[in-house]
Structure 1
Amino acid sequence: MGKALIIGAGGVASVVVHKCVQNSDVFEEICIASRTVSKCDALKNKLDGGKTIIHTAQVDADNTDELIELINSFGPDVVINVALPYQDLTIMDACLATGVHYIDTANYEPLDTAKFEYKWQWAYKEKFEKAGLTALLGSGFDPGVTGVFTAYAQKHHFDEIHYIDIVDANAGDHGYHFATNFNPEINIREITANGRYFKDGEWVETAPLSEKQVYDLPEIGPKDIYLMYHEELESLSKNIKGVKQIRFWMTFSEKYLTHLKVLENVGMTSIEPIMYEGKEIVPLQFLTAILPDPASLGERTKGKTNIGCVIQGVKDGQPKTYYVYNVSDHEACFKEVGSQAISYTTGVPAMIGAMLVMNGTWQKPGVYNVEEFDPDPFMEALNEFGLPWKESFSPTLLD
């Protein structure tokens, strides 16, 4: 059916490539591009020989001119951005300049301060409308599937949604004293930021990881969950009309939080540059360089993830509670695509979003978050491509 340019060659990109190759009727030709072309070549060598034709290229995703040159030479129908979120805008600019649809999994982040906001990308709405192009933001799991879950609940189960609790639980164990399951720099910036949630039309801010509950999750049991801010809260609060409260919760072990606190106390999580032996370095970037590569964790990780939405509202005048979630097994994911479940649960939805844009199902000029489209084709594709979802109508409610 078409061609996709995949920018990035890390753990999530590897899953996207595997899934595009599995879906060769749609992705007839792909190009994997990264600053480190050897990583792209390694993926190509691993997966060559199937129906999907695979190319590789070297590109600096911070350089719009390089991106434009690559897009023009390959001629893709869509660009799947699984590079760093600092590079979203340069890639969006390149898509506009070349007339190509855009898909990503994480909102743009300025390098200096962790913001977790969509405003920079939403500002492109008119440009994409005028160009007749679709920009699909946050087509990962959270953000991504959690937004689709909410839209599905709104379409099929509620007249009004009042409360949404997104719960992201990872019960996997990789055996290291301390490691992050995705890009360490993004992960640590996210965790050390203030918590924030939406309530009655306003944002309520909390100290980092200061709000904690224990929640009993299907297939993985009771876990400590901590309130955090996550960017899908911003889009859901805008797009789900009448919602009174939206919160995001994530699991962390005591061991993980202890290591993180020590690193924070000694300044290793800072993004303020310091001088070291005549060179300027960013402590968090240095820490990222010495921590295990998230892409290397797959073969070591055992256990499961459970990510879903507990939603309360009204249907036919009666109160209703609905829980929709996915459970993924780290070892099963690694056996299938060579990546742990964190990368898998992000990469599969990125491929699905690209497929729906490319085949016209989710094609609409402008800049959109996933919950602004019909959720049904995405929900069907989750079951087909490795992220089957389950639902419950009597979940335990969070306080």
Structure 2
Amino acid sequence: MHSVVIIGAGGVGSVVAHKCCQLPELFDDIVLASRTESKCKRIAEQLDKPVRTAQVDADSASQLVSLLQREQPELVINAALPYHDLNIMDACLKAGVHYLDTANYEPRETACFEYHWQWDYHQRFVDAGLTALLGSGFDPGATNVFTAYIAKHYFDEIQQLDIIDVNGGNHGYPFATNFNPEINIREVSAKCRHWENGEFVTTPPLSMRAHYTCPEDVGTYPIYRMYHEELESLSKHFPSLQRAQFWMSFSDAYLQHLEVLSNVGMTGIEPIDYQGQSIVPIQFLAQLLPDPAALGPHTQGKTCIGCLVRGVKDGKKRLIHIYNICDHQACFREVQSQAISYATGVPAMIGAKLVLEGQWRQPGVWNVEQHDPDPFMADMNRYGLPWKVTELDPEFQLDTEEHQATNAVH
């Protein structure tokens, strides 16, 4: 039996709580904590087993340490915003608790999400005998494990990687984001970086487009190249990669709204003075947009997220596609959430399970692809994210074209 504290009561935190409750034989004692405890209580009312709730401000190191010292969990599952990662890691070190998150640290004052801040904690976690597992969501997370699994079982050497994230769902709103609006818009509007020939190449945001046909009749969608954090860790841990890119689908309406909001200054991250108050435009915008956690009842359609991996096996070129398809409404029926939160929350539970069971427990700070992918992949099939592997013609290429970049650049 094991105890965990889940920090964060948004869409992902809700899914993590639901999925942990489905394994009562492992997750014996669960505390759901957030800045607003009433959100935790509303989630707890939906769950199949009793879950305790607590109030904690993740911006406050002292509150985090007090919570962990009081509850004495074995593991913290960080489903809060990336701004809080280092605070929570510090608290875990002080309280002697293992750590897991779904997205890497990002400072509030700069739209720059990189792993080096967290990797710098490695020796501290080694010395404390504690495990910190980074990026155990879907992308990053499952896509990293997909890459490790394919490299282990299908190739002698992987050379090219395209991570493709398609959301074919429709929530019915003119403009909304499927996860935290502030983080989503900061990611999308940042300059693009992709890995090529041993270095990162910087290009304008969303300046490369392709049209991608998903398997299993999910549909054909425009996808845009952008930077995503798993490229940083995968290019480091798979040095044979000659090129690694991340692609995400966006509708024309989403991009048009984003450009207009940028042009009028609503995506800015620098504080402005309004009637004597300091306001960050993007944070104000986030308050006006639909809550991602409330999109579940309205979202129809499917997601298709996976990896195209190229390389060599027995001296021959090979192209493997590994992917998962999620149905938004099926996810909502199970855990009262749309598929984006579901696809992030399930891998968080799986990563926690593997740490608690000891399979992925090793002192230090680790990305998920540094561990044996096989138990994670088996649990994805077992707990709601079934995946498939297909072999494609190695001559297949994405049909790419240059695209006029959005003006929404930070």
Mapping for residues 321-332 of structure 1, pairs under 5 Å: 321-332=319-330
Residue in 2 aligned with 1:122?
Answer: 119
8 Å CA contact 2:322–2:389 kept in 1: the answer is yes
Residue in 2 aligned with 1:228?
Answer: 226
Residue in 1 aligned with 2:90?
Answer: 93
Rounded to whole Å, the distance in 2 between the matches of 1:221 and 1:311 is: 21
Say which SS state the counterpart of residue 45 (structure 2) adopts.
helix
Residue in 1 aligned with 2:369?
Answer: 371
Alignment-mate amino acid for residue 167 of structure 1? I
Mapping for residues 194-233 of structure 1, pairs under 5 Å: 194-218=191-215, 219-233=217-231
The answer to whether the aligner puts 1:314 opposite 2:312 as a matched pair is: yes
Rounded to whole Å, the distance in 2 between the matches of 1:47 and 1:346 is: 18
Say which SS state the counterpart of residue 321 (structure 1) adopts.
strand
Rounded to whole Å, the distance in 2 between the matches of 1:22 and 1:397 is: 41
Residue in 2 aligned with 1:43?
Answer: 43
Say which SS state the counterpart of residue 140 (structure 1) adopts.
coil
Residue in 1 aligned with 2:3?
Answer: 3
Rounded to whole Å, the distance in 2 between the matches of 1:263 and 1:216 is: 30
8 Å CA contact 1:326–1:387 kept in 2: the answer is yes
Listed one character per residue, the Cα deviations across residues 122-163 of structure 1 (whole Å, up to 9, x for unaligned) are: 000000010011100000000000000000011100100000
Residue in 2 aligned with 1:164?
Answer: 161
Residue in 1 aligned with 2:299?
Answer: 301
Rounded to whole Å, the distance in 1 between the matches of 2:356 and 2:398 is: 39
The answer to whether the aligner puts 1:12 opposite 2:9 as a matched pair is: no
8 Å CA contact 1:310–1:397 kept in 2: the answer is no
Rounded to whole Å, the distance in 2 between the matches of 1:127 and 1:254 is: 46
Listed one character per residue, the Cα deviations across residues 39-69 of structure 1 (whole Å, up to 9, x for unaligned) are: 1111112215x3xx41110001111111111
Residue in 1 aligned with 2:240?
Answer: 242
Mapping for residues 374-389 of structure 1, pairs under 5 Å: 374-389=372-387
The offset of 1:241, in angstroms, is 2.5
Residue in 1 aligned with 2:21?
Answer: 21
Residue number among 288, 291, 314 corresponding to 1:290 in the alignment: 288
Residue in 1 aligned with 2:128?
Answer: 131
Alignment-mate amino acid for residue 300 of structure 1? H
Structure 2, unaligned stretches of length 5 or more? 400-410
Rounded to whole Å, the distance in 1 between the matches of 2:140 and 2:309 is: 16
Residue in 2 aligned with 1:110?
Answer: 107
> How many corresponding residue pairs?
396
8 Å CA contact 2:107–2:113 kept in 1: the answer is no
Alignment-mate amino acid for residue 25 of structure 1? E
Say which SS state the counterpart of residue 111 (structure 2) adopts.
coil
Residue in 1 aligned with 2:390?
Answer: 392
Rounded to whole Å, the distance in 2 between the matches of 1:363 and 1:397 is: 39
Normalised TM-score (structure 2): 0.95
The offset of 1:167, in angstroms, is 0.1
Rounded to whole Å, the distance in 1 between the matches of 2:230 and 2:138 is: 10
Rounded to whole Å, the distance in 2 between the matches of 1:179 and 1:333 is: 19
The offset of 1:24, in angstroms, is 1.1
Rounded to whole Å, the distance in 1 between the matches of 2:397 and 2:131 is: 37
Residue number among 190, 201, 217 corresponding to 2:187 in the alignment: 190
Rounded to whole Å, the distance in 2 between the matches of 1:47 and 1:120 is: 35
Normalised TM-score (structure 1): 0.98
Seq. identity, %: 60
Alignment-mate amino acid for residue 340 of structure 1? Q
Alignment-mate amino acid for residue 193 of structure 2? R
Rounded to whole Å, the distance in 1 between the matches of 2:166 and 2:26 is: 32
The offset of 1:331, in angstroms, is 0.4
Say which SS state the counterpart of residue 269 (structure 1) adopts.
coil
Alignment-mate amino acid for residue 357 of structure 1? V
Listed one character per residue, the Cα deviations across residues 265-293 of structure 1 (whole Å, up to 9, x for unaligned) are: 00000001111111010000000001000
The answer to whether the aligner puts 1:355 opposite 2:350 as a matched pair is: no
Residue in 1 aligned with 2:63?
Answer: 66
Alignment-mate amino acid for residue 41 of structure 1? K
Say which SS state the counterpart of residue 154 (structure 1) adopts.
helix
The answer to whether the aligner puts 1:149 opposite 2:149 as a matched pair is: no
Say which SS state the counterpart of residue 46 (structure 1) adopts.
coil
Rounded to whole Å, the distance in 1 between the matches of 2:196 and 2:162 is: 12
Listed one character per residue, the Cα deviations across residues 170-204 of structure 1 (whole Å, up to 9, x for unaligned) are: 00000000000000000000000011100000111
Q: Which runs of 4+ in 1 moved over 3 A?
A: none
Residue in 1 aligned with 2:407?
Answer: none
Rounded to whole Å, the distance in 1 between the matches of 2:330 and 2:381 is: 15
Listed one character per residue, the Cα deviations across residues 288-310 of structure 1 (whole Å, up to 9, x for unaligned) are: 00100000100000000000000
8 Å CA contact 2:16–2:348 kept in 1: the answer is yes
Residue number among 180, 185, 199 corresponding to 2:177 in the alignment: 180
Say which SS state the counterpart of residue 175 (structure 2) adopts.
coil
8 Å CA contact 1:225–1:249 kept in 2: the answer is yes
Listed one character per residue, the Cα deviations across residues 96-116 of structure 1 (whole Å, up to 9, x for unaligned) are: 011111000010010011112
The offset of 1:216, in angstroms, is 0.8
Say which SS state the counterpart of residue 398 (structure 2) adopts.
coil
The offset of 1:398, in angstroms, is 2.0
Alignment-mate amino acid for residue 26 of structure 1? L
8 Å CA contact 1:35–1:60 kept in 2: the answer is yes
